[in-house]
Amino acid sequence: MEMEQLVALCKRRGFLFQSSEIYGGLNGFWDYGPLGVELKRNIREAWWRDMVTSHDELEVPPGAPSAYEMTGLDCTIIMHPQVWKCSGHYDQFHDLMQGCRQCKKLFRADQVWEMLRESDWVQSLATTCSPGPSHDLLCVDGLLLLKWAKGKGRKVAPGLALVRNPEVTLSWLAERIEQGVDRPIALTTILQYLATEQLAATGLQTPCPCCGGDLTEPREFNLMFETHTGAIRDESSKAFLRPETAQGIFVNFKNVLDSTRVRIPFGIAQIGKAFRNEITPRNFTFRSREFEQMEIEFFCHPQTSAQWYQYWRDRRFRWYVELGLAGDRLRLRDHDPQELSHYSCGTADIEYAFPFLAPGQFGELEGVAHRGDFDLRSHMEGKLVRRGDQFVVEEGPDGKPRYRGSGKDLSYFDDQTHERYVPHVIEPSAGADRAALAFLCEAYSEDEVPDENGKPTKRVFLRFHPRLAPVKAAVFPLVKKDGMPEVAREIYRTLKPHWNVFYDEKGAIGRRYRRQDEVGTPFCITVDGQTMADGTVTIRDRDTLKQWRVSKEDCLAELRERLTG
C-alpha cells in the first residue's frame, strides 16, 4: 500500500482532516473526522478497558508475589511550572535544530540526512549522475553536474552552492576527488562538496533538504509550548502545555494513595492530550504537535521491579497483537544495555513498520521504560542529575537545589511489612494517534470482486478488528419500496442503542457494500424480498464476503456473538 492511498481515503471518507484546512492548514495539527473520532474513541476505550477496568488482576509475573490494582486520573494540561523544572523538561527537553540561511526552513539535526535522501532535488541530482556499484554511490561527471546546475538545479535546488556558483564549486570538487570523473563517491560526500563553495573558509556544508542552501550550526530548541496564566504576561506568569501526561500522575501519587485503598503494586493510568513544538512534524499524524497519549505509571517494590518491567513489556506488545497488528510489521525492540540509564533494568520500544518509512525501518508506537525511583524523588527533592552512577539533586551556584522539589514525602509505607520505601516505576507510554495510524495502515486491504456484470473490479476495504471498527454494522433495504425500508429501519433502531450502526437506502446495493467495506464496517444486514416472506435477512461479512440468513429478530444476538465472540 502506498501511503498516499491511505491519506486520500482518510480525507475522502472522513477519518482525518488537516486542521484549519480552509485557511491552508496548520503544520503538525490534525482533526479527526466523523469516522476518525469513532476509531480513536474505540482505541482509547479498548486501552482503558483492557488496562484499567477489566485488567486480569490475577496475572502476575513470576517472582512478583501479589496481584495488582489499576486506577485512573485525568489531570490538567497546564500544571505548576515547577513540575517541568523538577522533571527535567525545562532544561533538557530539546531537539537540536538547524535552519537554512537561504530558504529559512528549520530541520531537526538528526533528520537532515534522512530528509535529504528523500528530497526531490537529491533524487534529481542522483539520476543525473550515473549510479555506482550501490545506490548510495555515484559516479560524477563535472560536465553533467554543470548542465544540471544551470538547468534543472536552478528550479529544484536554487540555494545549492553548485547552482549559485557552479564553476567555483566544481573546481573544489575536482581538486578534492582527484579529477574524480567516473569514480564512485558516497552520496553523502558528494552532497557536502556540492553545497560548499569556500571549503577553506567554511568547512564542508550539509545542504538544506528543501533548497540545497547552507544550514546553520545545530542549536538547542526546547519542545515545550509556552503560555501565560493570568492577565500579566511576564516571566512569573509563564506556564507550559504538558509535553507528556506522565507528570500529572507522579505529582498526584500521594493523593491517589490517600484517597483510595490501593496498595503497591498498582498502576495509575491516564489518557490525554500532550503538546510538543516539533521542529519538523511529518509523516501524516505520526509526528504531530498536538497528540494524545495513553500512559500508565506502575508503582512497585524495587525488588520486584525487574519482573514487573518484563510483565508490562510483554503485556503491552500482546495488546497490539490482540487488536490485529500481528506479523512482521510489529516488533518489540529492547534498547541496547549501553542505551540504558544506570538505574534502569530495561527500556523497550514497540515499533511498527509504517509504509512511509524505508524498507526495514520501524517507527515507535510505544515505549515501555523502567524508571526506577527517578520521578518520585525529583518531585520530592528537586531536579536530579547523574553523578557517576548515582542520581543526586542538582545544585545551583549557591549550593542549594537548582530547582526545589515539593518537599512532600512521596515514599510508600507498607503497613503489612512495616517497610517504607520510594517505589520504582514502570512506564508503558503509548500514543493514541500513532496507534490509530498503525491500525489504519494494517487494516488497508485490496482484493478483486465481481461487479454487477460479473467483471472483476478492485475492492478497497479496511480490515479493522471488530472492537476498533468505527461502524459495527450497516443496515440496508434492498430496494426503497415494498415495505423493505420500514423493516430495515426497525432493525437499525434495535441495534443503535448497542453500537454505532449505519442506515443506508440510497444507490445500488453493490455500491452500498463497497462504501461500507472502504470504512471497515464488519457486517452489512440486508432486508430483501425473502425477508418480507419469511422474516429472515442476509448478513454479509466484510472480509470473506460470505452471506448467510438469520431471522430479523436474531440480528442483535448474531452481531453480539460475532463482534465480541
| Contacts with ligand GAP, residue ranges (CB under 6 A) | 244, 246, 276, 278, 287-288, 291, 293, 295, 364-367, 427, 429-431, 433-434
Cβ closest to ligand GAP, residue 106 vs residue 186: 106
What cell does 317 get?
A: 506488545
Distance spanning both ends of the chain, measured CA to CA: 30
Cβ closest to ligand GAP, residue 375 vs residue 381: 375
Closest contact distance (angstroms) between CB of 244 and ligand GAP is 4
Closest contact distance (angstroms) between CB of 103 and ligand GAP is 23
Closest contact distance (angstroms) between CB of 108 and ligand GAP is 11
Cβ closest to ligand GAP, residue 273 vs residue 342: 273
Rg of the Cα trace of the chain? 29
Closest contact distance (angstroms) between CB of 350 and ligand GAP is 8
Using H for helix, E for strand and C for coil, what is the string for 421-461?
Answer: ECCEEEEEEEEHHHHHHHHHHHHEEEEEEECCCCCEEEEEE
Cβ closest to ligand GAP, residue 295 vs residue 517: 295
Amino acid found at 467 = R
Closest contact distance (angstroms) between CB of 57 and ligand GAP is 24
Cβ closest to ligand GAP, residue 279 vs residue 475: 279
Residue 520's alpha-carbon distances to 240, 264, 319, in angstroms, are 39, 41, 20
* CA–CA separation, 251 and 84 (whole Å): 11
Closest contact distance (angstroms) between CB of 35 and ligand GAP is 20
**Is residue 362 within 8 Å of 333, Cβ to Cβ?**
yes
Cβ closest to ligand GAP, residue 166 vs residue 372: 372
Closest contact distance (angstroms) between CB of 246 and ligand GAP is 4
Find the residue with minimal CB distance to ligand GAP.
431
**Is residue 517 within 8 Å of 461, Cβ to Cβ?**
yes
Closest contact distance (angstroms) between CB of 414 and ligand GAP is 26
Cβ closest to ligand GAP, residue 39 vs residue 488: 39
Cβ partners under 8 Å of residue 389, min gap 6: 342
Region of 285 please: left (phi>0), alpha (psi -120 to 50) or beta: alpha
Question: Any idea what the Cα angle at residue 281 is, between residues 192 and 463, rounded to 5°?
Answer: 120
Give the DSSP per-residue string, 176-192.
Answer: HTTS-TT-EEEHHHHHH
Cβ closest to ligand GAP, residue 437 vs residue 487: 437
Amino acid found at 25 = G
* CA–CA separation, 429 and 365 (whole Å): 9
Cβ closest to ligand GAP, residue 354 vs residue 523: 354
Closest contact distance (angstroms) between CB of 291 and ligand GAP is 4
Question: Any idea what the Cα angle at residue 400 is, between residues 396 and 406, rounded to 5°?
Answer: 105
Cβ closest to ligand GAP, residue 32 vs residue 513: 32
Query: Which residue from 521, 564, 518 is spatially nearest to 539, judged by alpha carbons?
Result: 521
| 104: Cα within 13 Å, side-chain hemisphere | 0
Closest contact distance (angstroms) between CB of 290 and ligand GAP is 8
